[in-house]
Chains A and B, each alone.
Chain A
Amino acid sequence: MKGTALPVALLLLLAAIIAPTTAHTSEDLVYGYECRAGLCRKVELSEENFSKAISLPVCRLFCGSSIGTLWPKPTGAVRLDTLMRQVDISFIDFNITGIARKEKLWKAAENRWMDMIDAKIPDRKILTRGGYRLTVNVNTPDDVAPAKLTLDTDESYRLDVDTDPSGHVVASIAASNFFGARHGLETLSQLIVYDDLRREVQVTANASISDAPAFKWRGLLLDTSRNYYSVKAIKRTLDGMALVKLNTFHWHITDSHSFPLEVRKRPELYKLGAYSPRQVYTQRTVAEVVEYGRVRGIRVMPEFDAPAHVGEGWQHKNMTACFNAQPWKDFCVEPPCGQLDPTVDGLYDVLEDIYSEMWELFSPDVFHMGGDEVSTSCWNCSLPIRQWMKAQGWGLETADFMRLWGHFQTEALKRVDTVANGTQTPIILWTSHLTEEPFIDEYLNPERYIIQIWTTGGDPKVKKILKRGFKTIVSNYDALYFDCGGAGWVSDGNNWCSPYIGWQKVYDNTMSEIAGDYEHHVLGAEAAIWSEQIDEHTLDNRFWPRGSALAERLWSNPNESWKQAESRLLLHRERLVENGLGAEALQPQWCLQNERECPVDAYDAQA
């Protein structure tokens, strides 16, 4: 920190002269921080210690931890200097090499990065002038094709920060494509902090980091059918995901409750199925969301859940069974009931139209066909279905209904392949009766299907699926269903998967524990927000900071448990808030200011 004493003295003098009207200047500060024995200690500021004291974010960047406040923590070598340099924010330059820079994607990524720097500064008017120039060099090989995230994308990057003697900080990011490079930018922004004592933006003077994710599928699922979310709320979620390098937004866009997606060839679906004409995702807004995600390194993957979880929007088509049937408990797991009737020929034409518009909008590299919670009693109560099955010479036993389901899946997949031009796009299905023995072997091909697991992590069914060579995505509800813990809405008491899942459990939910020897078959994981009791007003606090806990589990796959990550997460949570996310608080602010003074479980037993 040499060389700061004089500027600080000067600054105090200046502050008294030029900023007397500002409400909160560094003169208001009573406390600062000092790094002592690897911990940031809150100290009362005095004339003697003022030059030595630093702000909390600055202190935490280098004190006691080799990875500072980075979240998720890098998986490769990390070297962070303790020296900080003031950045002159009016002299930040971007150099992006290669022809790819022409794509507007890069410009959008640069703008976003500058916005993040801006968000760190509480008041530009009181910012201390001066500092080092900062140049950000991004080097990726030339690539003519537009950047698209796939399962083969290399998301690794290398970041070097150096200070040259002429008063210039140079940050260089090397990656093999846009997605790695943007992760590098994200990391760089976490090395830049605001010091409220000196009222400066500061950057680590020297650093080198190499980094790559442990898992390639790092996602959040949002259900926009049980309750509608504005595009603004979805974009904010994507912002949060970008901050922690999550890369998949699984959009459970429709369900039996509402059909908010504009399908131009079948407009009745959303006209009848949306909660209101204003609660529709038009094709224009969907395209906007997809591009917004791409800029943030995120694939926006649509799910069209079928044959169950279908209802609103389909009412006049004669293509559904048990739609809104009562008493609903006899036909489905939650109201309103509804299930496609696989025996109606015209059904597959409608599906093809939905798929084809989804393909135009999302160009998915992986597609989700749902496939959960099919109820045989629903199909069994439909006379035409029973007659059709008899005509095929089938019985009406469970195995026969499974065959009907298998028939649906086969026919629907043909239509997917038609719109996908035979690209053999990998298909995701939820775990269900169909993914159990013996049906899984009869109807699902491990070369084609990825199974998304939502049973508990310890369920023996999981190993049976993995053993067959299926690639999997983990969403075990006992750790990754973020809607657990609210009120029951179709029952007394709290909801079915209560209690609330703390971030600690999310963090410690390791893939190896779930998959054992088959961990290499796990593509990654997703946390889910099912929206029965969540809407726009509580979205942020349900996702964050627990989404960040998942992000570190998937990006870094740390050996340590949450206890080692706790104090870093408290600071990271402030970063989420700074970027406009209404993240839940985890501990009293006192615990943020007094590192490690609120040890494990301090607030657990609170009556």
Chain B
Amino acid sequence: MKWLIIIWILLVLNAAGGTKWLCSRSTVCTPENRKLQGEKYRVARFESQRDCRLSCGKYGAVWPMPTGPGISLSHSRVHFDPQEMQFSVEAPSEAATQFLHETRRLFVANLLRECARDCTVASSARIVVLATVISGSLVLDWRTHENYKLAINSTLGNGTVVHIQATTVYGARHAFETLSNLVTGSVTRGLLLVSNVLISDRPCYPHRGLLLDTARHFMPLQHVRRTLDGMAASKMNVLHWHVVDAHSFPLEITRVPQMQLYGAYSSAQTYSRKQVVELMKYARLRGIRIIVEIDGPSHTNSGWQWGPDEGLGELSVCLQRSPWESPCASPPCGQLNPMNDNVYAVLKAIFRQVAEMGAPEETVHMGGDEVQLSCWNSSMQIQEKMLSQGYNLSEKSFLHLWAQFHRRNLLAWDEINRSEHPDIPEPKPVILWSSLLTNPDTIERHLPKERFIIQTWVDPHDSLNRKLLELGYRIIVSNANFWYLDHGFGHAKTMYHNWRTVYEADMPDISEAQLVLGGEVCLWTESVDQNTLESRIWPRAGAAAERLWANPVESTVLIERRFYRYRERLLDRGIQAEAVAPRFCVLNEKLCDDPYFVY
């Protein structure tokens, strides 16, 4: 043991007195004794690569990049002990003040993970963090201001003062997140902070989301929480929780316990109502909304089987279809029975719980993808009822029926919200997937634009986005060819979307683009469970996070080193992010670059 300690001390001393690092004009960090030909280095010297990265390049190590204007990062550092930092928060409401105290707690916990060895510093610099928010509200929706200003001033006499100013607590939490990106572990002990900083920042899109499917495979809560941690580190603000699907129904619906009882893979693979409420709080503290998706009328089977046994009739039809190829996209088949009033009653109970669990301003995702009209058309009961109600059996009729299904659920949703959240005056829009029903030629007949937001999963070059925008619909983009993170594995014929592809996904760029709320990367979990969850999402979701935060024009070649640092930060925070390059390339900046790339 003694021997180990001696070695350790030697290592520390060696590191402290070790080679210094330099930052070049083209933002390459290199050890002083291994300068690269053709690089012009600045004079500042840094104790380590991570120290150098903190201020090498306009954005330093901040991910996602601040949108400015007027970003400045000094090359000098303050050496400090995170336990010695002082905080002062100012907010106009008790709730907001409390929120900021929690933010501070999470921030310090993250800083402690940055310490290379020991966090304590005998003579720590004095750092005071003053955080002020203007609004006392904790509302988090598409209209929430997430902007902030961060200024760090260090002077000999007064120590270091960090000023954080934000409109809302959510902007303030982003500022703390940025502040954590301006810190790295010192090679000896304690931490280093960039000593003089000016950053003003606001996101380009208000909806920066990740879809997580917990129905194809159940994800234990700790993994969902870790996913939220990764999102918080990336300033993503929406977890789109595709909690149920045809494969399983793990969510507890207290008014309809049969859903979970028959629908969960096992009694251990469930989310209780209480757990969901706690998870939502957990997310909120990290600036994240959880939008629950109750997919329908398609993608329903598990959990919906019990209707006939309990006298409610068939809730979902085509359940026992074999072969499954038709009439559903993948096994198991099942589509809600739109002619059965009990279906709406059950859905209403589910929506009521969603409204009760969520924040007053929160909405719901009603699914609506991959409906197979042929399924409904194969049910005698549905056919008969339709004919008796004056429908014929044409495609147009079935589309009408489908739209009717969504509008009826919307009415229920409105009614629930009027009673649950009387303080919210306006009816909330709900979200639907793009589908046959959202065809721009006919959508206005079916889905009013004030009430339905469309999440599209088409290629960015598909005209759907443009047409919907021109019609005045708000959209969320999740193009399958860039942002489906499950693609490219298994026996699938799909392509893996590498982090550059994810990064370079274009956002719609037309005059109606202000109707683009943002986007979501999606993790469908047919062949993903808790073992691969984190490595599928991270660090690639971070590439989308920067796209949605900053919509940058920079080439991925220039942001690569900052991205590598971001991946390491995720690892430090306990997230199993996938490797993107040999360690050699991370340590030896530029040496693995394509030598013939023209900047």
Contacts and interface: CB of A to CB of B under 8 A. Distances in A.
Interface of A: 23-24, 28-30, 44, 226-228, 257-258, 275, 277, 312, 324, 326-330, 334-336, 485-494, 498-500, 502-505, 531-535, 537-538, 540-541, 577, 582-591, 593-594, 597-599, 601-607
A376 to B, nearest CB: 19
Contacts of A602: 324, 330-331
A121 B496 CA distance: 37
Contacts of A582: 531-532
A586 B246 CA distance: 17
B457 A490 contact: no
Interface residues on B, range: 35 or more
A41 to B, nearest CB: 12
Contact of A585 (B246, B527, B577, B578): B527
B571 A537 contact: yes
Closest 10 CB pairs of A and B: A487-B498, A327-B595, A502-B491, A28-B267, A582-B531, A257-B584, A590-B247, A226-B582, A588-B216, A585-B529
Contact of A329 (B490, B578, B595): B595
B581 interface: yes
A540 B595 contact: no
A602 B322 CA distance: 12
B583 A258 contact: yes
B262 interface: yes
Nearest to B567: A537
Interface string B255-269: 000000110111111
Nearest to B591: A335
B592 A586 contact: no
B15 to A, nearest CB: 10
B496 A590 contact: no
Given A487-B498, A597-B332, A602-B330, A590 B578 contact: no
A199 to B, nearest CB: 14
Interface of B: 11, 37, 216-218, 246-248, 261-262, 264-269, 302, 322-324, 329-332, 457, 480, 484, 488-496, 498-501, 524-529, 531-532, 534-535, 571, 576-585, 587-588, 591-596
Given A499-B495, A585-B529, 20 more contacts: A30-B261, A328-B591, A328-B592, A330-B595, A493-B498, A493-B500, A499-B496, A533-B579, A533-B582, A538-B532, A538-B578, A582-B532, A585-B532, A589-B218, A589-B269, A597-B331, A598-B330, A601-B491, A603-B526, A606-B492
Contacts of A540: 531
A607 B435 CA distance: 13
* Chain B interface, >50% SS class: loop
Given A227-B579, A227-B583, A599-B323, A605 B532 contact: no
Given A24-B267, A606-B494, A226 B532 contact: no
Contacts of B457: 607
Contacts of B488: 485, 494, 498-500
A494 B495 contact: yes
Contacts of A329: 594-596
A232 to B, nearest CB: 14
A541 B491 CA distance: 15
Contact of A492 (B217, B324, B500): B500
A494 B591 contact: no
A71 B322 CA distance: 29
Given A489-B581, A586-B490, A588-B216, A324 B267 contact: no
A487 B492 contact: no
B323 A577 contact: no
Given A488-B498, A597-B332, A587 B491 contact: no
Contacts of A589: 216-218, 247-248, 265, 269, 529
A30 B591 contact: no
Nearest to B540: A487
Contacts of A588: 216-217, 247, 525-526
Nearest to B36: A326
A588 B571 CA distance: 28
Contacts of A586: 490, 527
Given A533-B579, A597-B324, A590 B302 contact: yes
B24 to A, nearest CB: 15
Contacts of A601: 491
